[in-house]
Amino acid sequence: MINKVGVIGSGTMGSGIAQVAATSGCQVKLYDTNQAVLDKAELALDKILSRLIEKGRIDSEEKNRIQSNISYVNNLKDLADSNLTIEAIIENIDIKKKVFSELESYVSDDCIIASNTSSLSIASIAASLKNPKRCVGIHFFNPAPLMKLVEVIPAIQTSYETLEKSIDTISSWNKTVAVAKDTPGFIVNRVARPFYGEALRIYEEGIANFATIDSAMKDIGGFRMGPFELMDFIGNDVNYTVTETVFTAFYFDPRYKPSFTQKRFAEAGYLGRKSGIGYYEYDKSGKIVLEKDSNISIEGDASQKIFNRILVMLINEAADALFLNIASAKDIDNAMTKGVNYPKGLLAWADEKGINWCVDHMDELYNEYREDRYRCSPLLRKMKIDNKTFF
139 catalytically annotated: yes
Q: Considering 69, 83, 118, 119, which one is annotated as catalytic?
A: 118
User: Which DSSP letter does residue 219 get?
Assistant: I
- CATH superfamily name and code, 4-179: NAD(P)-binding Rossmann-like Domain (3.40.50.720)
- Residue 258 CB contacts under 8 Å (≥ 6 apart), including other chains: 197, 240, 243, 244, 247
Asked whether the bond before 143 is cis by omega within 30 degrees of 0, the reply is yes
Provide φ and ψ at 153, rounded to 5°: -120, 105
CA distance 8 to 327: 27
Give the closest residue to 329 by CA, choosing from 341, 339, 309, 315.
Answer: 315
Domain segments of the chain: what residues? 4-179, 187-390
CA distance 377 to 383: 10
Q: Considering 82, 139, 334, 377, which one is annotated as catalytic?
A: 139
Confidence (pLDDT) at 286: 85
Give the closest residue to 171 by CA, choosing from 338, 336, 348, 44.
Answer: 338
Q: Considering 24, 119, 128, 189, which one is annotated as catalytic?
A: 189
CA distance 28 to 206: 51
118 catalytically annotated: yes
Show pLDDT as tens, one digit a residue, over the chain (391 residues): 899 999 999 999 999 999 999 999 999 999 999 999 999 999 999 999 999 999 999 999 999 999 999 999 999 999 999 999 999 999 899 999 999 999 999 999 999 999 999 889 999 999 999 999 999 999 999 899 999 999 999 999 999 999 999 999 999 999 999 999 999 999 999 999 999 999 999 999 999 999 999 999 999 999 999 999 999 999 999 899 889 989 999 999 999 999 999 999 999 999 999 999 999 999 988 889 866 555 555 555 899 999 999 999 999 999 999 999 999 999 999 999 999 999 999 999 999 999 999 999 999 999 999 999 999 999 999 999 999 999 9
Q: Considering 151, 198, 229, 317, which one is annotated as catalytic?
A: 151
* Element of type H or E holding 67: helix 60-68
Convert 327-362 to b/e letters by CB count within 10 Å (16 or more is b).
Answer: bebebbbbbbbbbbebebbbbbbbbeeebeebbebb
CATH architecture of the domain with residue range 187-390:
Orthogonal Bundle (1.10)
Give the closest residue to 102 by CA, choosing from 160, 31, 38, 156.
Answer: 31
* Element of type H or E holding 28: strand 27-31
Residue type, 276: G
CA distance 52 to 60: 10
Residue type, 180: A
CA distance 189 to 149: 13
CA distance 62 to 265: 44
